[in-house]
Amino acid sequence: MPDLLTLLLDLHDLPASQLPEPARDAARSSLYDWLICGRAGTNEPVADKLRRFIAAEGGQGLASVLGAGTAPARQAALVNGATSHAIDFDDTHFAHVGHLSVGIYPAALAVGEETGASAGDVVDAFLLGSEAAIRVGMALGSAHYNRGFHQTATAGAFGATLAAGRLIGLTRDQMRAAIGLCSTRASGLKSQFGTMGKPYNAGIAAANGVESARLAELGMSSCADGLAGPEGFLQTHTDDPGHDLPPVGRWLLPEISYKFHACCHGTHAMIEALRAVGPVDPGDVAAIELRTNPRWLSVCNIADPGTGLEVKFSYAWLAAMVLSGRDTSAFDSYSDVVAADPALAAIAGRMTVTGDAGLSDMQAEGVLRLASGGQTPFAHDISAPIATDVLRDRLAGKSRALLGPDGGPPATLVGDLATMTAADLGRMLRGEAA
Please tell me the class of the 265-381 domain.
alpha beta
State the pLDDT at residue 332.
85
The pTM for the full model equals 0.91
| Residue 162 contacts residue 129 (beta carbons within 8 Å) | yes
Quote the mean pLDDT of the chain. 94
Residues 139 and 24: their CA atoms lie apart, in Å, by 24
| Residue 92 contacts residue 256 (beta carbons within 8 Å) | yes
Closest CA to 96 of 160, 179, 28: 160
State the pLDDT at residue 59.
92
Closest CA to 157 of 223, 207, 196, 91: 207
Starting at the edge strand that comes first in sequence, how are the strands of the sheet with 363-370 ordered?
Answer: 351-355, 285-292, 363-370, 375-381
Instruction: Tell me the torsion sign for CA atoms 304, 305, 311, 312.
Output: negative
3-state helix, strand, coil in the chain (%, to 5): 55, 10, 35
CATH node for 4-257+388-429: 1.10.4100.10
State the pLDDT at residue 330.
85
Give residue 194's pLDDT band: very low, low, confident or very high (50, 70, 90). Answer: confident
Instruction: Please provide the DSSP assignment of 132-178 as one string.
Output: HHHHHHHHHHHHHHHHTB-TTTHHHHHHHHHHHHHHHT--HHHHHHH
> Is the pLDDT at 243 greater than 80, yes or no?
no
Give residue 278's pLDDT band: very low, low, confident or very high (50, 70, 90). Answer: confident
Instruction: Tell me the torsion sign for CA atoms 416, 417, 419, 422.
Output: positive
Mean pLDDT of 354-378: 95
pLDDT digits (tens, 9 = 90+) for 125-155: 999 999 999 999 999 998 999 899 999 999 9
Structural domain boundaries of the chain?
4-257+388-429, 265-381
Q: With left for phi above 0 and alpha for psi between -120 and 50, is residue 372 left, alpha or beta? A: alpha
CA distances from 259 to 100, 135, 226, 348, 423 (A): 13, 22, 34, 23, 27
Task: Give kind and range of the element (H or E) at residue 286.
Answer: strand 285-292
Give residue 1's pLDDT band: very low, low, confident or very high (50, 70, 90). Answer: very low
Contacts with 171 (C-beta within 8 Å, 6 or more apart), sequence order:
none
State the pLDDT at residue 433.
65
| Residue 264 contacts residue 310 (beta carbons within 8 Å) | no
Phi, psi angle pair for 14, to nearest 5°: -65, 125
pLDDT digits (tens, 9 = 90+) for 298-357: 889 999 999 988 999 899 999 999 999 999 988 889 999 999 999 999 999 999 999 999
